[in-house]
Amino acid sequence: MIEGSQHKRIFVPYRLDVEGLRAVAVVLVVLFHINERWIPGGFVGVDMFFVISGFVITLWMKRAIEGDSFSLIEFYRRRFKRILPAMFVVVFVSLVVGVFTMLPSDLTSLSWSAIFSILSAANIYFTYFIDTSYFAEDSKGVPLLHLWSLGIEEQFYLVWPILMLVLMRLKRALVSSLTILIAGSALYGQYLLSADNFSFAYYMLPSRMFQLATGGLLVFLPVITKPLLAEILSFTGVILVASSAYWLTGVSPFPGLNAVPLTLGTSLVIYSGSQRTVLARVLSLTPMLWTGKRSYSIYLWHWPVLAFQHYLFSDLTLIQQIASLFLTFILGHLSYQYVEERTRYSKATLWGVTKTLVIPPTAVIVALCAWLITTKGMWPYGAGFTAVEAIAAELTLPVADVKEVCIPRVTGEKEFSDPRCILATNGEAHSRVLLWGDSNAAHYVGTINEVAKAAGVSVQNISHSACPPLLEKASEFAHPVYRDWCAKSVPYIVSRLKDYDTIILGGQWGTYFSRGDFKTEMDKTISALSDSHRKVIVLGQVPAFSGYDRKCFLKQYKVPFIQCEAIPRLINGNQDDKKMFTELAKKYPNVTYVDMFPFLCQNGKCSPYADHKPLYTNGTHLGYGGSVDLGKRIGSELKTILE
């Protein structure tokens, strides 16, 4: 039973199976965020929520409109009670925890995200005002990132009631109109992905509307009357949902067409469930209902629980992961019992709900955020912290932010004639040495700059993210996001290799072994360069670490018990690339392989720190300061080769 207004009640059947489906959705999301390896595509649980929300809201609206008792005021009164109180609590608690754990810049960002969240615009903030994607490593420590989905739902609630009022008057055109809307939204999302507008595609309503609208469309389809057909559709839906959760990953282009199977699968489960299928009965079991009823609060709490731990400790141990799961469900239950249940059944008018449940918490949160933003999040730091922060920023500066680093999307004549792209220039118009590779070549710019100055030579540098330095088939090994740019750039670079006497290759070699016969293609490249009587210098990968945070030692100012240098763990100790390049250096003349491990590891122990100072900008890339430091260590060995 769902209330329609203060004078009429609108009876809508309570679908136990839909409540249980919420449990599946929230468990997928929570387990994915705790450990992505458990369910690689578990993030699709959010998309399941979209379909469920579209169905439930549209079902209520259809009954209300048909009963001539629909009211926008009543609709928003119900939405306010359902969504806002629990969200306000999570936002406020996150701000308080942030005050005692986060760095000034991060606390300021948290404050802005809190303001956008209570304005139902978190998705807009994360699309336009913060430089991270949903799946980026940095995003794991953003406490309110998950509220992007609430932003989409709340924006949906602004347009959907009006659209339903119009379409239900059209009657015959209703289903076809919704079908066109669904197809248009899905195709628009695919277009955004093809145009590399990944953030807008992921976070914004236009490319997500089709999932909510699909749930709404189910309300207007004929009821299934054949039990066997219902079972077939139910089973098909489970297969589509399970395959999406298993096959999709954080690097899959999404949503777009990749979201269609999941959306269709969820819809089939809901559509067939009215016939009490086997799946519907399973979803109606007590544990599923218990979790489904608390799914909203569980979703609200799970991300801050994980985000603050990631912020302080980067990677979580198995014990932390299990503890986080229990804590999430405990907080979700408490939030459901003491917040949701106490506000959901309020009989107050829209104004009554607004003045008691909306305005007071909004005022408190805005006031707290305003204080944090105006003070730039500096409390309780002293004046000396700014100087320390500046030193740390210089040490760990990402090489992409260094003006001498040439890492364009597509390479052409401009990059090869740009003096900014030449290291240690001595007035020559052209360099005879080329540094070429992916971002792991770029992070050696500081190293090569130091060595080149000592050797009295200049070095042209050019690199492309996730694009290996191969003469042929480079794009086949490139990261899918960068594949087109790689394919456009490498042929031009190859055409210019004849202009150089020495070629220095750098790459995150280990990532390419799993994408085909990389060893064969690299052998061909080294062979061709060697046969052309050029010197070839291959720079090995630096030690890579999980759990590394370049800001960790700054965070110790507020949280002194963090053991920064003890947290990172070496993740590429087997060095497959070392074996391959050592063999190639023996096989071909004029080829030198430089192993970086001896220069960054002492007594068999590798660390992203030196003299308690961070060398890396992330777990796999040197910061510019660390790159310069490596150049001083490696100078004598590399200098003689360049001379």
| Chain mean position to CA 120 | 20
pLDDT at site 627: 95
Q: What is the mean pLDDT of residues 384-398?
A: 81
Q: What is the mean pLDDT of residues 446-474?
A: 93
Residues 472-476: contacts with CB under 8 Å, at least 24 apart:
472/521, 472/524, 472/525, 473/516, 473/521, 476/515, 476/516
Residue range 492-510, pLDDT digits in tens: 999 999 999 999 999 999 9
Token pair for residue 527? Answer: 């062979």
| Residues constituting the chain | 643
Q: What is the mean pLDDT of residues 229-252?
A: 96
Report how far apart, in Å, the C-alpha atoms of 459 and of each of 279, 405, 406, 542, 642 are.
Answer: 64, 11, 12, 21, 10
What is the chain's mean pLDDT, rounded?
A: 91
Report whether pLDDT(260) > 80: yes
Residue range 185-213, pLDDT digits in tens: 999 999 999 998 999 999 999 999 999 99
Tokens 């080329």 sit at which residue?
Answer: 434
Containing 340, the helix (H) or strand (E) segment is none
**Domains of the chain with bracketed CATH:** 2-374 (no CATH), 399-543+570-601+635-642 (3.40.50)
Percentage of the chain with pLDDT > 90? 71
pLDDT band (50, 70, 90) for residue 4: very low
Local structure of residue 447 (DSSP, 8 states) = H
Percentage of the chain with pLDDT > 70? 97
Residue range 335-354, pLDDT digits in tens: 999 999 999 888 888 898 89
Report whether pLDDT(119) > 90: yes
Q: What is the mean pLDDT of residues 209-228?
A: 96
Report whether pLDDT(6) > 70: no
Tokens 């449940």 sit at which residue?
Answer: 357
pLDDT at site 415: 80
Report whether pLDDT(137) > 90: no
Q: At what angle do helices 624-642 and 445-455 cross, to 10 degrees?
A: 40
Residue range 399-453, pLDDT digits in tens: 888 888 898 888 878 888 888 888 877 655 457 899 999 999 999 999 999 999 8
pLDDT at site 140: 92
**Residues near 378 by beta carbon (within 8 Å), at least 6 away in sequence:** 104, 385
Token pair for residue 146? Answer: 């998950």
pLDDT band (50, 70, 90) for residue 8: low
Range with lowest mean pLDDT among 4-8, 114-118, 171-175, 200-204: 4-8
Nearest to 304 by CA among 101, 119, 115, 136: 101
CA 48/CA 539 separation, integer angstroms: 46
DSSP string of 585-642, one letter each residue: HHHSTTEEEE-SHHHHEETTEE-SEETTEE-EEETTEE-HHHHHHHHHHHHHHHHHHH
pLDDT at site 576: 81
CA 514/CA 562 separation, integer angstroms: 35
Measured in degrees and rounded to the nearest 5, phi and psi for residue 411 equal: -95, 140
pLDDT band (50, 70, 90) for residue 1: very low
Report whether pLDDT(397) > 90: no
Nearest-5° Cα angle at 201, 197 to 205: 140
Tokens 């070429």 sit at which residue?
Answer: 436
pLDDT at site 574: 67
Report whether pLDDT(357) > 70: yes
